[in-house]
């Protein structure tokens, strides 16, 4: 099976470009492949900075997990959880700075990657959302809370409503908002500034900054994943996934 991304390395800058049509929704194998690639780039001495983005022909950065895979077999959630966990950890704990360049929809696992990253650049059409509750799942809150204030995170999580790039910029998560055709140029400009500096000093800086963060992001996400596992054992979760795949409204027992 082909990988859901392409990678290039130029002048110390690695670019991982998601290209899994139609919406960059990755199955369990796809998530594990992404994690392996990001880990490998972190160990590559030719790489000083990593940019993660999506093919501009795809409507958004990442739609998260492949709900169809999970609707067909809820037991695969353990493998999906592992793929998500390893991908987000590979970004957050990577010895190299990771810049994400976002356009269109940024959902679910896309939030996890963004929240784990060091710097976010967004196109003016970027939209952030966590529709987990409507998909019968949990997860992403820890990474969203690394981007936005607590009450904003809860509002987004409980309602499933999106916020746009300008609101994300206002809240401090996004470094720069640019027209979509300038997105990669903006990310490369920032990456170039970092790549010119001492690799060892940047590596030490990232390790130091990660170490002084409030709490352990990976532990927080593991906590969330336990609730994802619990959610998948419920009838409501199966109904939510079936409704999504069948393109209909979910029907829940409101007792």
pLDDT-flagged residues of the chain (< 50): none
Would you give the end-to-end CA distance of the chain in angstroms?
A: 45
Determine, yes or no, domain membership for 155.
yes
What's the length of the chain? 255
Determine, yes or no, domain membership for 140.
yes
Determine, yes or no, domain membership for 72.
yes
Whether the CB-CB separation of 12 and 47 falls below 8 Å is answered with yes
Domain containing 109: what range? Answer: 5-180+199-210
Residue closest to 81 by CA, chosen among 210, 227, 216:
227
Determine, yes or no, domain membership for 31.
yes
Determine, yes or no, domain membership for 152.
yes
Residue 25, classed as helix, strand or coil, is: strand
Determine, yes or no, domain membership for 26.
yes
* Helix H or strand E segment including 13: strand 13-18
Full-model pTM: 0.92
Determine, yes or no, domain membership for 245.
no
- Which residue in the block uniquely carries the two structure tokens 């904003």? 152
32-86 pLDDT per residue, tens: 999 999 999 999 999 999 999 999 999 999 999 888 887 777 778 889 889 999 9
Distance CA 140, CA 144 (A): 6
Distance CA 164, CA 25 (A): 20
Per DSSP, helices labelled H in 77-198 are 77-92, 109-116, 141-145, 150-159, 165-170, 183-195
Q: What is the side-by-side order of every strand in the sheet holding 127-129?
A: 105-107, 127-129, 163-164
CATH number at residue 203: 3.90.226.10
Determine, yes or no, domain membership for 24.
yes
Distance CA 177, CA 172 (A): 11
| Count of domains forming the chain | 1
Give CA torsion, residues 237, 34, 173, 44, to 10 deg. 160
Q: Give the pLDDT of residue 255.
A: 61
């Amino acid at each position: 099976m082909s990988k859901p991304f392409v990678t290039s390395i130029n002048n110390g800058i690695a670019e991982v470009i998601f290209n899994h049509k139609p919406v960059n929704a990755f199955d369990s194998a796809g998530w594990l492949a992404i994690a392996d690639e990001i880990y490998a780039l972190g160990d590559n001495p030719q790489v000083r900075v990593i940019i993660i983005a999506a093919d501009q022909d795809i409507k958004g950065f990442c739609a998260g997990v492949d709900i169809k895979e999970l609707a067909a077999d809820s037991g695969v959630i353990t493998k999906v959880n592992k793929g998500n966990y390893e991908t987000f950890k590979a970004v957050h704990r990577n010895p190299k700075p990771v810049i994400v360049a976002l356009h269109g929809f940024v959902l679910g696992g896309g939030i996890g990657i963004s929240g784990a990253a060091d710097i976010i650049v967004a196109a003016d059409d970027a939209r952030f959302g966590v529709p987990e509750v409507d998909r019968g799942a949990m997860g992403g809150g820890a990474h969203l809370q690394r981007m936005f204030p607590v009450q904003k995170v809860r509002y987004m999580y409980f309602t499933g409503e999106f916020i746009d790039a300008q609101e994300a910029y206002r809240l401090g998560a996004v470094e720069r908002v640019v027209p979509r055709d300038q997105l990669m140029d903006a990310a490369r400009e920032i990456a170039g500034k970092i790549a010119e500096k001492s690799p060892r000093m940047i590596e030490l800086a990232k390790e130091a900054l990660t170490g002084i963060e409030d709490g352990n992001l990976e532990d927080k996400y593991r906590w969330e994943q336990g609730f994802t596992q619990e959610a998948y054992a419920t009838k409501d979760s199966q109904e939510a996934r079936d409704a999504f795949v069948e393109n209909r409204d979910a029907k829940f027992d409101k007792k």
